[in-house]
Chain A
């Protein structure tokens, strides 16, 4: 590595030698070179996930007619949302090198609590959602306390919780039945009926807000850095990023504006199914808030620090135990939200709520997106990218592998993809450490 520079170890500045940390603007070329170097240093982030996503979308759009139809895309968004939200929470836990195997059934238990309150006790949806969220947070405190204060490995605690919550769900639902939830607001979130979408104008307004907000934050940061005389990303690169976001977003909003009812029956005679699903703004808010929390606050910094080296964090005065408990709280709370979204998608809950491969898909989403299983590396956006990949595979395979073994193959493929992603993670981690 050329930067070690042992040959110029201890001398004062030589003639013509560049003084470090001087004020300078990074050129586009320099920026690109830095970026490539970071990639080679093992900081791949979401790149493998994004490449995989593009490849899969192209592959499936050829192999399966109608894969990119507005109807299919909308369904992928709606079905992917619970996985993505759960994965966002898992990113926090994974950042500490911990695991929460109970997130799936915890989401189920919280959703069932909400359903029971809604249906059997007639509370309104806000109270029910708050109750679910509170239960989620409580579960997180409990798991986190057992991990941080009692010292049981998180794998074991959450495995136990995973089993117990399954039992709780069966008891609360009452045998192998289900509870139907007909609350309109809740059901509209995941567009359980064909016309519950954002108005077309609202979709565009949302896009404008997102793009302008992103651009404002981006350029303000760059301005601050330039003012302080620090190397900053070139304006062209920042503009390209904003433009890419605007273009991608516009394509999505336009696409979602197409009426998805192709064949009219007497039931849908005068109805239209168009607009952005209501879940999208919720996902964006969560993405924004959680990204801010991890990337721009002291708390977020401490999460990364504890995940990287908890002894160093302790010596730096960080309350490691509190951080450890907090990530489980965030995870279980988001699992509860995920459960509410799943409840909305199904317009109810059943006795197997949150079981099966719910958790596996969410962990897979986080890891595929680029969050490391070894802790210390990951971002909230990983959950979104990985969640979309998981959903694309699921929808792409569903038609491709038809017949009675279809669901089986789908699980096998998803498992393989998770393994490949974890393999990437392990190998890129080695790449990062081999340069010491």
Chain B
């Protein structure tokens, strides 16, 4: 049903989901979702409220376990039962409500829970952490923070988002999922964060961007996956669709000859109404 044309489809997707099913009691949230994310690409995951975006992401991240379906990561079938298992694979999720501690500085936040220690006394290796944090930010061409020893409370929204994203790439991650990274940002800061998102992909990560903002999606995405009432309406190349088509996929599940077939859409709609 889903058609990722993938003209540059030479690269095998690092994450491939097939027929993912997830129910919460009687509520059937994901109904056979297919999804792919490729290295070096930004894959936008769009969909209306309640389409199942968050559930899908939580299944990928191991917060929820999938009921049924194929979860292939890096060419191997993976069983992700916990967030820890996901991070062991190299999957990092940056949540919408930033998981940063205001009272800690940038370095401390980036290494939170995975602090480097040194010597027999197992004291914190501040110098090493500061160096690595600085290098990571520099590699992402982040120049908007003055010092990595600044407290997060003194940062702007865009800077905080930047730190949260940079944190996720410190860990040798392969797939980074960003949940509405620009939702609370102004115009300039949004541009700043989108730029960073693009750079992550250019550095060889697979990036999944969840967004409600069509402009963001059109600006940075290589591939667009539209969820519609728990089904993947379509995963298409960004270059092959227009703004209007994406909106139609989100709101109706189909647009012209792409998307769910009219019968499938009707069935889904019927189920959706029943649920």
Task: Point out residues on A near B: beta carbons under 8 Å.
Answer: 1, 3-6, 8-10, 12-13, 17, 19-21, 34, 41-43, 221, 224-225, 227-231, 292, 296-298, 301-302, 304-305, 307-309, 311-313, 315-318, 375-377, 432-433, 435-436
Q: Tell me whether A298 and B195 are in contact (CB under 8 A).
A: no
Interface residues of B in 60-102 (CB under 8 A from A): 83-84, 95, 97-102
What residues on B are CB-neighbors of A315 within 8 Å? 83, 95, 99
Q: Tell me whether A317 and B146 are in contact (CB under 8 A).
A: no
Minimum Cβ distance to chain B for residue A290 (Å) = 14
Minimum Cβ distance to chain B for residue A147 (Å) = 20
Cα distance A433–B151 in the bound complex, in angstroms: 10
Given contacts A9-B195, A312-B109, 8 further A-B contacts (CB under 8 A): A9-B144, A9-B189, A19-B143, A228-B130, A305-B101, A305-B113, A312-B99, A432-B153
Residue in A20, A225, A227, A377 whose beta carbon sits within 8 Å of that of B138 in the complex: A20
Cα distance A16–B130 in the bound complex, in angstroms: 25
Report, nearest first, the 6 A-B pairs whose CB atoms are least far apart: A316-B113, A308-B101, A376-B103, A308-B103, A21-B134, A10-B195
Cα distance A17–B143 in the bound complex, in angstroms: 10
Q: Tell me whether A309 and B101 are in contact (CB under 8 A).
A: yes
> Chain A interface secondary structure, helix, strand, loop or mixed?
loop
Q: Tell me whether A4 and B156 are in contact (CB under 8 A).
A: yes
- Closest partner residue, chain B, to A312 (CB atom): B99
Cα distance A315–B62 in the bound complex, in angstroms: 12
Minimum Cβ distance to chain A for residue B103 (Å) = 3
Q: Tell me whether A21 and B108 are in contact (CB under 8 A).
A: no
Q: Tell me whether A298 and B117 are in contact (CB under 8 A).
A: yes
Cα distance A13–B155 in the bound complex, in angstroms: 22
Is B262's beta carbon under 8 Å from chain A? Answer: no
Minimum Cβ distance to chain A for residue B90 (Å) = 15
What residues on A are CB-neighbors of B84 within 8 Å? 317
- Closest partner residue, chain A, to B102 (CB atom): A308
| Given A21-B135, A228-B127, A230-B131: A377 and B103 interface contact (C-beta under 8 Å) | yes
- Closest partner residue, chain A, to B124 (CB atom): A296
Is B2's beta carbon under 8 Å from chain A? Answer: no
What residues on B are CB-neighbors of A317 within 8 Å? 84, 113-114
Q: List 21 A-B contacts (CB under 8 A).
A: A1-B156, A6-B192, A9-B192, A10-B192, A21-B134, A21-B135, A21-B138, A21-B148, A34-B147, A43-B151, A230-B127, A231-B147, A297-B122, A298-B124, A305-B113, A309-B101, A312-B100, A315-B95, A317-B84, A432-B153, A433-B153
- Closest partner residue, chain A, to B128 (CB atom): A228
| Given A20-B138, A41-B151: A301 and B131 interface contact (C-beta under 8 Å) | no
Interface centre among A42, A297, A305, A377 (most CB of B within 10 A): A305
Cα distance A43–B150 in the bound complex, in angstroms: 11
What residues on A are CB-neighbors of B115 within 8 Å? 298, 301
Residue in A298, A312, A377 whose beta carbon sits within 8 Å of that of B122 in the complex: A298
- Closest partner residue, chain A, to B135 (CB atom): A21
- Closest partner residue, chain A, to B149 (CB atom): A231
Minimum Cβ distance to chain A for residue B120 (Å) = 13
What residues on A are CB-neighbors of B128 within 8 Å? 228
- Closest partner residue, chain B, to A43 (CB atom): B151
Minimum Cβ distance to chain A for residue B158 (Å) = 8
Residue in A225, A297, A304 whose beta carbon sits within 8 Å of that of B103 in the complex: A304
Cα distance A313–B114 in the bound complex, in angstroms: 11
Cα distance A433–B145 in the bound complex, in angstroms: 17
Interface centre among A307, A312, A316 (most CB of B within 10 A): A312
Is B214's beta carbon under 8 Å from chain A? Answer: no
Cα distance A301–B157 in the bound complex, in angstroms: 24
Minimum Cβ distance to chain A for residue B121 (Å) = 8
What residues on B are CB-neighbors of A436 within 8 Å? 153, 155-157
Tally of contact residues, B, Cβ under 8 A:
52
Minimum Cβ distance to chain A for residue B10 (Å) = 28
Minimum Cβ distance to chain B for residue A228 (Å) = 4
Q: Tell me whether A313 and B95 are in contact (CB under 8 A).
A: no
What residues on B are CB-neighbors of A297 within 8 Å? 122-124
- Closest partner residue, chain B, to A227 (CB atom): B127
Is B176's beta carbon under 8 Å from chain A? Answer: no
Q: Tell me whether B188 and A6 are in contact (CB under 8 A).
A: yes
Cα distance A13–B142 in the bound complex, in angstroms: 10
What residues on B are CB-neighbors of A34 within 8 Å? 147
Cα distance A311–B102 in the bound complex, in angstroms: 12
- Closest partner residue, chain B, to A315 (CB atom): B99
Q: Tell me whether B101 and A432 are in contact (CB under 8 A).
A: no
Cα distance A317–B85 in the bound complex, in angstroms: 12
Cα distance A292–B115 in the bound complex, in angstroms: 16
Q: Tell me whether A312 and B192 are in contact (CB under 8 A).
A: no
Is B104's beta carbon under 8 Å from chain A? Answer: yes
Is B49's beta carbon under 8 Å from chain A? Answer: no
Is B23's beta carbon under 8 Å from chain A? Answer: no
What residues on B are CB-neighbors of A318 within 8 Å? 112-113
Minimum Cβ distance to chain A for residue B238 (Å) = 20
Is B137's beta carbon under 8 Å from chain A? Answer: yes
Cα distance A311–B113 in the bound complex, in angstroms: 12
What residues on A are CB-neighbors of B150 within 8 Å? 3
What residues on A are CB-neighbors of B117 within 8 Å? 298
What residues on A are CB-neighbors of B109 within 8 Å? 312
What residues on A are CB-neighbors of B130 within 8 Å? 225, 228, 230
Minimum Cβ distance to chain A for residue B39 (Å) = 23
What residues on B are CB-neighbors of A21 within 8 Å? 134-135, 137-138, 148
Q: Tell me whether B112 and A5 are in contact (CB under 8 A).
A: no
Minimum Cβ distance to chain A for residue B189 (Å) = 7
Q: Tell me whether A316 and B103 are in contact (CB under 8 A).
A: no
What residues on B are CB-neighbors of A230 within 8 Å? 127, 130-131, 134
What residues on A are CB-neighbors of B147 within 8 Å? 34, 231
Minimum Cβ distance to chain A for residue B236 (Å) = 27
Cα distance A1–B104 in the bound complex, in angstroms: 19
- Closest partner residue, chain A, to B134 (CB atom): A21
Cα distance A413–B189 in the bound complex, in angstroms: 49
Q: Tell me whether A41 and B154 are in contact (CB under 8 A).
A: yes
Cα distance A316–B92 in the bound complex, in angstroms: 11
What residues on A are CB-neighbors of B195 within 8 Å? 9-10
What residues on B are CB-neighbors of A435 within 8 Å? 153-154
